Structure 1
Amino acid sequence: MKIGERLLKQLNKKYEPSKLIKFQFGRYDVATKTDEEGNPILAFVGKADERGIIKGDQFSRKLLKDAQGAVMKDHWDYKGKV
């Protein structure tokens, strides 16, 4: 599974730092964990059960910055089913 352009736009936004953010995206439930700057670094996309645990796909973000803080690499890797 690939992350679509519309979901990438949502994941490129800044959120509250060091939190687990949950939201609906179309027919999917999404949970994303943010780093200390508020950038999503983990994403779980699928269907949530009654306890809120998402069954679906896991993605991890590679976000590399240089010494000045400019983004050098920004890429989402598919990590498999969860």
Structure 2
Amino acid sequence: MALNEKLVTKLNKKYAPDARIDDSYNGKDLTFLTNELGEPVTLFIGKRKEDGAITGERYTRKIVRKPGSQEILKSHWDLKGKVTKST
């Protein structure tokens, strides 16, 4: 399942480096992890449980950079599967 373009636009922004960001989008809960440059690279989307864990889907981002630069040539999000947590 591909991510919504508006969600991808939100995820293309820069955030705090090496951070965990809890947010929501279009009625779904989000948690994403950023790399050392503040770019989201791991996304959990679904329903947040009381302990803060997300039950839903996990995506990872592949970023290709211009050689010798931090400029992004291309990036895309890959669905890695379902995430659940037993309570």
TM-score, normalization by structure 2: 0.89
Q: Which runs of 5+ in 1 are unaligned?
A: none
For residue 35 of structure 2, what is the aligned residue in structure 1?
35
Tell me the residue number matched to 1:46.
46
Partner of 1:18: 18
Q: How many residues end up aligned between the 2 structures?
A: 82
Query: Whole-Å Cα distance in 2 between the matches of residues 29 and 47 of structure 1?
Result: 5
Q: 2-side partners of 1:35 and 1:8: how far apart?
A: 16
Task: Report what 1:8 is aligned to.
Answer: 8
Task: State how far apart, in whole Å, the 1-side matches of 2:51 and 2:70 are.
Answer: 38
Give me the whole-angstrom Cα distance separating, in 1, the residues matched to 2:19 and 2:38. Answer: 8
| Identical residues among aligned pairs (%) | 39
Partner of 2:77: 76
- Larger mean CA deviation between 60-69 and 25-34 belongs to 60-69
Instruction: Find the aligned partners of 1:24 and 1:77 in 2 and give their Cα distance.
Output: 20
Instruction: Output one character per residue of 1:32-77: Cα deviation in whole Å (capped at 9) or x when no partner.
Output: 0000000000000000011111000000000121212222331111
